[in-house]
Amino acid sequence: MYQTDMYEGVIAETVMLRGHNGDWINAYCARPLGPGPFPGLVLAHHMPGWDEWYKEVTFRFARQGYITICPNLYFRSGHGSPEDVAAKARAAGGIPDDQAVGDLEGAARYLRALPTLNGKVGVWGTCSGARHAYLSACRTQVYDAVADLWGGRVVMRPEDLSPNQPVAPLDYTADLKIPLLGLFGEQDFGPTPEQVTVHEELLKKLNKTYEFHMYANAGHGFFYHNRPAYRQEQAVDGWNKVFAFFEKYLKTTR
């Protein structure tokens, strides 16, 4: 536990890494100063893009002792303000799932090459980022834990599939080999509580290690302090659950 006479330091900067297909993309990386070893976290940003909120959260996780990296999943959409770039990605119907999985895997490999890593890497995302985090956790073997915060379109109807999203993430659940944390709001339209139940039933059936928490009086994006969806009580509790989950699976050496 932190004491006021302890040294604190975090450095945060833009870095470049190899993503999907070996492409260079940029990423925001925040890491605690000191010899470590530190656990690592990959953050999958949401549809509004590689924005200020995700930079803040990257920094927040670093302050909690994680080498944290948030790759710019919209790098190939061009450069400009995060909103303008995200709008371009939105107009294209989002980014291809394969590309997102490849970019997130590249970020995990970037962390795994650091000498200060403790050997553990988690992946965390919200909204479409949670969907990408879950997909990435199922389809690659580079993580030790995954957190899905109100990820929509994990459960998909056949008519919702598209060239960019050809397979429902739910269909990869059998391949999930790491612990999963899920945080959801009862008032969310996507994922609806019913969709969360479908997901949970499959996790149970497949005997996966998971914990799901469904919050009352909360909808989609209840951590977003800059949006009307913010719910203070639920967000504080949710953050505590996130930190406890990653502490359990990433900070301890098993």
Residues that bind another protein (CB under 8 A): 46-48, 77-81, 83-88, 90-94, 127-128, 131, 150, 152-153, 160, 162, 165, 188-191, 219-221, 227-229
At its nearest, how many Å lie between another protein and the CB of residue 199? 13
Q: Which is nearer to another protein, 48 or 65 (CB)?
A: 48
Q: Which is nearer to another protein, 30 or 154 (CB)?
A: 154
- Among left, alpha and beta (phi > 0; psi -120 to 50; other), residue 151 is beta
At its nearest, how many Å lie between another protein and the CB of residue 46? 8
At its nearest, how many Å lie between another protein and the CB of residue 125? 12
* Angle between the N-to-C axes of helices 128-139 and 97-112, in degrees from 0 to 180, rounded to the nearest 10: 70
At its nearest, how many Å lie between another protein and the CB of residue 208? 22
Task: Please work out, in degrees rounded to the nearest 5, the angle formed at the alpha carbon of residue 43 by the alpha carbons of 85 and 121.
Answer: 150
* H or E element at residue 214: strand 210-215
Q: Which is nearer to another protein, 5 or 159 (CB)?
A: 159
Closest C-alpha among 167, 173, 110, 115 to residue 146: 173
Question: How far is it, in rounded angstroms, from Cα 70 to Cα 68?
Answer: 7
Q: Which is nearer to another protein, 136 or 165 (CB)?
A: 165
Q: Which is nearer to another protein, 94 or 238 (CB)?
A: 94
Local structure of residue 227 (DSSP, 8 states):
S
Residue 231, C-beta contacts closer than 8 angstroms, at least 6 positions apart: 185, 215, 217, 218, 222
> Half-sphere exposure of residue 24, counting CA atoms within 13 Å on the CB side?
3
- Partners of 12 in the beta sheet? 30
At its nearest, how many Å lie between another protein and the CB of residue 27? 19
At its nearest, how many Å lie between another protein and the CB of residue 114? 31
Q: Which is nearer to another protein, 20 or 131 (CB)?
A: 131
